[in-house]
Structure 1
Amino acid sequence: MKYSNEVENEGFSIINNVFTENEIENLISLIENKTENNPENDTFRKSQDLFAIRQFHKEIPETLPYIFNQNLQNIIEPIFGKGYFITKSIYFDKPEKSNWFVAYHQDLTISVDKKIDVENFENWTIKQNQFAVQPPTEILENNFTIRIHIDKTTKDNGALKVINNSHSKGILRIENLDFKKEKETICEVEKGGIMIMKPLLFHASNKTTNNERRRVIHIEFSKQELPNGLEWSEKTIIQN
C-alpha cells in the first residue's frame, strides 16, 4: 500500500480529501463554541502567535465522531493494524500574522499520569500538572501521529518541513545530520487532508508570510502498555 510504504520509508505521508467540507465545518463549530464559552480554561494557551488547546480530545470529545470518520479508520488500520489508542492531542491555531516558528526537532516525550522511576524513562518534566518523559526508543519508533488540516497549509503559512527518512536513524542531535546529504520536503496539505508522521522524523515549521490562518488537530497514537505502573495520561480508546 502506497501510504504504508511512505510512512515506513520516508517517515511521513500526506493524504488529501480525508474529510468533507461539512465535517471540517462541524469541527470548527465545536471548537469555536468551546473556546468562546470557556475563555479562561487551563488547557488553553494563547498568545498573538499561537492559540492551542491541550488534551483536545478530552476537552472537546464531541469532535471524535467527526475525526474518526470511515475514511480515517480505513487509512489507519491497513497501515498500523488494530489496537491503537490516542495518547495525546493538541489543537493548534496559527493566526494570519503569526511569527511563530519551530526549529528542527524530534518528538521525544510522552505524557504520563505520574512520575515513577522506571529504567530507561528519563528527562522528566512537569508543565501545568502534566508529566512528560522520554521513553525508550522502541516505544517512540512504534508510535505515530496524525495531523488533521482544518485550513489549506502551504510553505507560506507554516507547513511542516521534514527531513525524509530521518526517523530511521534513532534519536539524534540535529547537528549530527548532514543536511547536504539529506532530502528536505515541505509538507503542503489541502484543507480536509491529513499528514501521518513518525515521532522520530525531524520536523520544523517557518513563520507565516501570506496572512493565511493555519489550524491543525495533532493526535498521537500508541498500542503499547507502559511498564511498572506508568500510565498514558490521555489514553482514549477509539470507538468504531
Structure 2
Amino acid sequence: MKHINKINSEGFAIIDHVYNETEIEKLISIIESVTKNKAEKTTFRKSEDLFAIRQFHKEIPEALEYIFNPNLKNIIKSNFGENYFITKSIYFDKPEKSNWFVAYHQDLTISVDKKIDIENFENWTTKQNQFAVQPPKDILDKNFTIRIHIDKTTKDNGALKVINSSHSKGICRIENMDFKNEKETICEVEKGGIMIMKPLLFHASNKTTNNERRRVIHIEFSNQELPNGLDWSERTNL
C-alpha cells in the first residue's frame, strides 16, 4: 500500500477499508466503557459541541491493540519505514448538532516533557501540566499524523478541508496564502478509513449540518530524538 508519493506531493492521503466493522465496533465499545467512568478527568473535555480525550493512547491503552491492526502496521511500514513512535493522540467526538468548527491552520507544536531554552524551539505554552513548543521546521517535516474515522465523514458533518500541497510552503500565516491560486479538497472518509497528513498542511473543518456524529482518533508520529535531553511527553513505542 504505497501512498508516500501522494503524501509528499499533496500533503495527505485517504485510505478506506483499513478497519472492518467488527474492529470499529470493538473500538467504540472500549471507548464508551472507559469514558463512562472517567468523565471528570483533566484530559477529558466535554461541551455541547465537542467531547475530546487528550493523551488518548495513555488514557485508553486497551484501544491500541485494535488501532494497530495488520493493515495499519503495514501502511506505516510501507510508507514511512521503521522506528516510528506515537508522540501525541486525541480522540474527537463531534455530536450530531455540533456548531464546533476549526479555522485554517497548520499543526506547529509538539508535546514535550519539560521546558528548556533550546535554539529554534519557540512559542512555549503550558496546558494541563504539559508543555508544548514549536520545534524547527525540519522536525515537523519528518512527522506525520493518522486520523482514524470511526464514523463516515462527509462535507456535511465536519470533514477536514485542506489546501493541497500547502505543507511544501513551510511555516506561514494563512493570510499570506493566495486562495485564488490554491486547490482546496474536502477530505471525505468512509467509516473504518484513515487520513494521513503532514503537520504543515493547512487544514480546517466546518460545522455539522446533517445531524450525523463524527468520531475521529488523531495520532501523531515521529522517529526523531529531540536535542539537549528534551523528550516527547506522550512518547509510546509501537
> How far 1:39 moved relative to its partner?
1.6
SS in 1 for 2:29: helix
Matches of 1:155 and 1:102 in 2, distance apart?
A: 14
SS in 2 for 1:180: helix
For 1:85-234, list aligned pairs within 5 A: 85-234=85-234
> How far 1:5 moved relative to its partner?
1.2
Matches of 2:74 and 2:81 in 1, distance apart?
A: 10
SS in 1 for 2:3: helix
Letter matched to residue 85 of structure 1: F
SS in 1 for 2:79: helix
User: Structure 1, residues 65-95: CA drift from partner, whole Å, max 9, x if none?
Assistant: 1000000011111111101000000000000
Question: Does the 8 A contact of 2:158 with 2:205 survive in 1?
Answer: yes
> How far 1:108 moved relative to its partner?
0.1
1:25 aligns with 25
Query: Which consecutive residues of structure 1, in runs of 5 or more, have no partner in the other structure?
Result: none
Matches of 1:161 and 1:2 in 2, distance apart?
A: 23
What count of residue pairs does the alignment treat as equivalent? 238
Matches of 1:155 and 1:161 in 2, distance apart?
A: 8
User: Structure 1, residues 12-58: CA drift from partner, whole Å, max 9, x if none?
Assistant: 00000000100000100110011101121111001000000000000
Matches of 1:73 and 1:128 in 2, distance apart?
A: 31
Matches of 1:77 and 1:229 in 2, distance apart?
A: 28
2:34 aligns with 34
Matches of 1:73 and 1:38 in 2, distance apart?
A: 29
Q: TM-score, normalised by structure 2?
A: 0.99
1:84 aligns with 84
Letter matched to residue 43 of structure 1: T
> How far 1:2 moved relative to its partner?
4.8
SS in 1 for 2:180: coil
1:46 aligns with 46
CA RMSD of aligned residues (A): 0.7
Matches of 1:135 and 1:192 in 2, distance apart?
A: 32
Question: Does the 8 A contact of 2:2 with 2:79 survive in 1?
Answer: no
SS in 2 for 1:232: coil
Letter matched to residue 234 of structure 2: E
For 1:64-79, list aligned pairs within 5 A: 64-79=64-79
Letter matched to residue 11 of structure 2: G
Query: Which consecutive residues of structure 2, in runs of 5 or more, have no partner in the other structure?
Result: none
Return structure 1 stretches of 4+ with deviation > 6 angstroms: none
Identity among equivalent positions (%) equals 81
> How far 1:202 moved relative to its partner?
0.1
Matches of 1:130 and 1:101 in 2, distance apart?
A: 24
Matches of 2:195 and 2:126 in 1, distance apart?
A: 28
Matches of 1:60 and 1:128 in 2, distance apart?
A: 18
Matches of 1:158 and 1:33 in 2, distance apart?
A: 25
Matches of 2:45 and 2:96 in 1, distance apart?
A: 17
User: Structure 1, residues 169-189: CA drift from partner, whole Å, max 9, x if none?
Assistant: 100110111000000000000
SS in 1 for 2:98: coil
